[in-house]
Amino acid sequence: MKPVSPARSPAAARAARAAGNATGALGAPDLDWAPPAVGTGATTPLWLVGLFGVMLYWATMYLDRNGGGFNPLVFNQGELLADLEARVPRSEADALLAQGRRVYNVYCSACHQPNGRGTPNQFPPVAGSDWVLTEGPNRIIRIVLNGMQGPITVNGNQYNNVMLPWRDQLSDEDIAAVVTFIRGNAEWGNNAGPATPAQVKAIRDATASRSTSWTAQELLGIPVKD
Amino acid sequence: MSSPAPAPPPGAVPPPAAASLAPALPADLDRSCRWPVLVLGGLSAGWLVFAAVLGVLAAIKLHAPGMLANVDWLTYGRVQPAAWNALVFGFGAPAGLALALWLMVRLSGVPLVGTGTILFGAAVWQVGLKLGVLGILAGDSTGIEGLELPRYASPLLLAGYLLIAPWALVVFDRRQPRESYLSQWYLVTALLVFPWCFASGYVLTSFLPLRGVLQAAAQAWYLQQLWVLWFGSLTLATVFYFLPKLTGAAVPSRSLALFGFWTFVVFGGLGGLTRYAGGPFPAWMLSLAVVGNVLTLFAVYAVGANLLPSLHAAVSRLKGNVVLWFLGFALLAWLAASVLTALNSLVTVRHLTHFTLVTPGLDQLALLGGFGLAALGGMYGVVPRLLGRDWPSRFLATLHFGCAAGAVGLLAVAFLIGGLVQGAALNNTDVAFLTVAKRYLPFASTGTLAQLLWLVGSGAFAVNLLWLLVACARTVCVPAARALVEPLPAEGKA
């Protein structure tokens, strides 16, 4: 297809243009083929360019403050990954530790103290305790479930007092969490392994018929680990 | 009828190619694209009316849910998306394509090629859309807002599009004045954006669906491309052609236009996620959307600064010029919608407007008021030139403008004010939810009134178009029929 017909003189073109294009649509003047005129003299006003620069700067600041460092894990505007990690535990173990801290503060810290050191002659320590830092958590899960009374030696010191049972107050998960927390709490210098809700449930079921508290004597007969 | 060739407007630089290259005549150009433009435009007029009927039904159901509630095919969840798809893909896209073809041919000074393929593409598109809308009414919708077309329909639309749109790009490539005009920039953008966003939107939600919230992110992105870069570009292309052309006022600055175009293309598509502000999306997506919407204001300013002189010049010519009314209104609606969208993405404003009528209000303002009126105005300007005959009824055209502008104005005002009232009440914990819902009712019924107005206007347009086509057909057919009939008695005598 030939787009341009060279035979056409400009004058003929003008006449034909006028004739072929005479339909004034509802008052609209004729449209010839030429595009609307555009001024080429004026440049983009300087103030607009300046303002554009300012707004680009604002945009980068805004993204920096609210974009979460373009990390796909950050969902709240204004947070960075670091804030997020401080607020939300990173793994399941972290989550268990955080839950354990809450349980400890509510149920245990009155006697064993927030710093885990207990009170001399009254309440034995859980920080650095040789009962807590055993290879497995079998014995202390039993202590938390059914309580404890009678003489006990912790780190060479004698205690003879009563700890109440928590079987009905705390769920398997709570107990696993608090046991994991006291065993693994690095702030106290503890670094023993975690306990799982499944372990707690197994022991809870196995000792379901027991109504009395444990004594140190009895517990020492139970293997620390299955 | 004859008129002198229009002199170049004062102060304008005469287009360089005018004298030297002598491009094809407007009449030849119009003849080359007559059938594709008329077919696409005519079909879109039919869909416009159909969509308006469904739109009225859907609007009524918002305040009178009992109406036709027992007819499966006409429940709100089906009528509403059917109306949306009929409007966007039945009226919007074909009308936009028709104008894109005509404008591209006009501005490039080159006749259209590939007419047969284009007509075939239009047929494929129509089949796909009919299947799709029937599918939605039958309950096959995908259930994802804006991407409801069932899997058996959406590929047909894409295929139809790919048979039509490339020819406009071919014409652009062969353009006679090598220097391109603003409208052509926006047309190229629109033509390239549509297949990209349509295909990715449907692939990522229907065919290889993304998981979880990412699907919603893809949908928000798709809607933004469709709204801003497709319909917005088509609106601007049309307005940038007709307003200066009809008023003779030059576009003041090419460099400002370039600045506006690039800010529009770069930032316009980023703002989608403000739709879901507060939702479970990575913070950067939302922040980028806010930044994108705010920076798009530069494009809005550039468009305003370049077109307001034309609009100003238009004031003196407004009397009786329906095309100008439509396009002037479209420009103002587009400017208003863009500014309000940017405002609405700011955190403090969103706090009030989120989950209210404001979002659909802005959507309607941009789609009906901006694109809709621009496309209709374009049709009023183009169709008589293709047929060589003016619109039969000035009254119907005037009525159409009154109804359409009234409908958009009513919808925008009712939904924006209603949205603010609703938002204030939702944020106030002392107000029960039912009370909030009741306060919203009067605004919803105003919405129905607006949809009715829109329907009346669309009907007037369709009747006018049909009348024009029938009149043309008669001038062509009657002599031909007479020529067939008349020789017979002569033969009989002999």
Average pLDDT rounded to a whole number, residues B309-333? 85
Looking only at the bridges linking them, the beta strands covering A157-163 and A148-154 are antiparallel
Q: Which of A84-88, B15-19, B439-443 has the highest mean pLDDT?
A: B439-443
- pLDDT for the residue B11: 41
Condensed to tens digits (0 to 9), the pLDDT of residues B155-206 reads: 999 999 999 999 999 999 999 878 899 999 999 999 999 999 999 999 999 9
What mean pLDDT, rounded, does chain B reach? Answer: 88
Residues of chain B with C-beta less than 8 angstroms from the C-beta of A80 = none
Q: Pick from B5, B181, B284: which is nearest to A18 by CB?
A: B5
Sorting pLDDT into bands at 50, 70 and 90, what band is A26? low
Angle at A15 between CA A11 and CA A21, to 5 degrees: 140
Condensed to tens digits (0 to 9), the pLDDT of residues B257-316 reads: 999 999 999 999 998 888 888 788 999 999 999 999 999 999 999 999 999 888 887 777
Q: Is the pLDDT of residue B233 over 70?
A: yes
pTM: 0.74
Please tell me the distance from the alpha carbon of residue A103 to that of residue A99, in angstroms, as a whole number. 6
Please tell me the distance from the alpha carbon of residue A76 to that of residue A63, in angstroms, as a whole number. 13
Whether A37 and B8 lie within 8 Å, measured CB to CB: yes
Average pLDDT rounded to a whole number, residues B379-392? 90
Residue B265's contacts (CB-CB under 8 Å, 6 or more residues apart) are: B189, B229
Residues of chain A with C-beta less than 8 angstroms from the C-beta of B250 = 36-39
User: Which chain B residue shows the shortest CA-CA distance from A51?
Assistant: B298
Where in chain A are the domains?
92-220
Whether A63 and B287 lie within 8 Å, measured CB to CB: yes
Whether A55 and B294 lie within 8 Å, measured CB to CB: yes
Residues of chain A with C-beta less than 8 angstroms from the C-beta of B177 = 35
Q: Pick from A21, A25, A77: which is nearest to B323 by CB?
A: A25
Whether B244 and A37 lie within 8 Å, measured CB to CB: yes
Residues of chain B with C-beta less than 8 angstroms from the C-beta of A40 = 13, 254-255
Q: Is the pLDDT of residue B121 over 90?
A: yes
Higher pLDDT, B183 or A15: B183
Average pLDDT rounded to a whole number, residues B438-449? 88
- The three-class DSSP label of residue A151 is strand
**Which of A19-33, A172-186, B417-431 is predicted least confidently?**
A19-33
Cα A134 to chain centroid distance, Å, stands at: 31
Residues of chain A with C-beta less than 8 angstroms from the C-beta of B18 = 34
Shortest Cα–Cα distance, A53 to chain B (Å): 11
Average pLDDT rounded to a whole number, residues A43-66? 93
**Structural contact between residues A171 and A179, judged by C-beta atoms closer than 8 angstroms:** no
- pLDDT for the residue A33: 64
**Alpha helix stretches (DSSP H) within B64-114:** 76-85, 93-108
Whether A36 and B291 lie within 8 Å, measured CB to CB: no
Q: Which of B53-57, B245-249, B419-423 has the highest mean pLDDT?
A: B53-57
Average pLDDT rounded to a whole number, residues A50-54? 96
Task: State the best of A17, A26, A81 to mutate against chain B, taking most chain B CBs within 10 Å.
Answer: A26
- pLDDT for the residue B487: 64
Where in chain B are the domains?
26-476
Assigned token pair, B494 = 């002999």
- pLDDT for the residue A32: 66
**Structural contact between residues B233 and B334, judged by C-beta atoms closer than 8 angstroms:** no
- pLDDT for the residue B177: 76
**Structural contact between residues A129 and A112, judged by C-beta atoms closer than 8 angstroms:** no
Please tell me the distance from the alpha carbon of residue B426 to that of residue B436, in angstroms, as a whole number. 7
Residues of chain A with C-beta less than 8 angstroms from the C-beta of B257 = 38
Please tell me the distance from the alpha carbon of residue B385 to that of residue B378, in angstroms, as a whole number. 11
Shortest Cα–Cα distance, B482 to chain A (Å): 26
Shortest Cα–Cα distance, B217 to chain A (Å): 13
Please tell me the distance from the alpha carbon of residue A62 to that of residue B287, in angstroms, as a whole number. 7
User: Which chain A residue shows the shortest CA-CA distance from B277?
Assistant: A77
Please tell me the distance from the alpha carbon of residue B444 to that of residue B436, in angstroms, as a whole number. 13
| ipTM rounded to 2 decimals | 0.82
User: Which chain B residue shows the shortest CA-CA distance from A59?
Assistant: B291
Shortest Cα–Cα distance, A38 to chain B (Å): 5
Backbone torsion region of residue B54, taken as left when φ is above 0, otherwise alpha when ψ lies between -120 and 50, otherwise beta: alpha
One-letter amino acid of B193 = V
Sorting pLDDT into bands at 50, 70 and 90, what band is B228? very high
Average pLDDT rounded to a whole number, residues B406-434? 89
Average pLDDT rounded to a whole number, residues A29-38? 71
Task: Taking each helix axis as running N to C, give the angle between helix B233-247 and helix B322-344, from 0 to 180 degrees, rounded to the nearest 10.
Answer: 140
**Structural contact between residues B214 and A3, judged by C-beta atoms closer than 8 angstroms:** no
One-letter amino acid of B45 = A
- pLDDT for the residue B3: 42
- pLDDT for the residue B478: 83
User: Which chain A residue shows the shortest CA-CA distance from B321?
Assistant: A27
Burial A88-123 (b: 16+ CB within 10 A, else e): eeeeeeeebbebbbebbeebbeeebeeebbbeeeeb
Average pLDDT rounded to a whole number, residues B405-422? 92
User: Which chain B residue shows the shortest CA-CA distance from A43?
Assistant: B255
User: Which chain B residue shows the shortest CA-CA distance from A15?
Assistant: B5
Higher pLDDT, B435 or B85: B85
- pLDDT for the residue B348: 82
Condensed to tens digits (0 to 9), the pLDDT of residues B452-472 reads: 999 999 999 999 999 999 999
- pLDDT for the residue B24: 67
Sorting pLDDT into bands at 50, 70 and 90, what band is B7? very low
Residue B393's contacts (CB-CB under 8 Å, 6 or more residues apart) are: B463, B464, B467
- pLDDT for the residue B388: 84
- pLDDT for the residue B227: 92
Domain B26-476 fold is: Cytochrome C Oxidase; Chain A (1.20.210)
Q: DSSP secondary structure string, B123-144?
A: HHHHHHHHHHHHHHHHT----S
Cα of first residue to Cα of last residue in chain B, in angstroms, is 42
Whether B241 and A36 lie within 8 Å, measured CB to CB: yes
Range A92-220 classified under CATH 1.10.760.10: yes
Whether A28 and B381 lie within 8 Å, measured CB to CB: yes
Average pLDDT rounded to a whole number, residues B481-488? 74
Percentage of chain B modeled with pLDDT above 90? 61
- pLDDT for the residue B30: 86
CA distances, B114 to each of A55, B99, B488 (Å): 45, 16, 40
Task: State the best of B184, B245, B258 to mutate against chain A, taking most chain A CBs within 10 Å.
Answer: B245
Condensed to tens digits (0 to 9), the pLDDT of residues A126-156 reads: 999 999 999 999 999 999 999 999 999 999 9
Residues of chain B with C-beta less than 8 angstroms from the C-beta of A8 = 22, 25
Average pLDDT rounded to a whole number, residues B58-82? 88
One-letter amino acid of A196 = T
Higher pLDDT, B351 or A206: A206
Average pLDDT rounded to a whole number, residues B65-93? 91
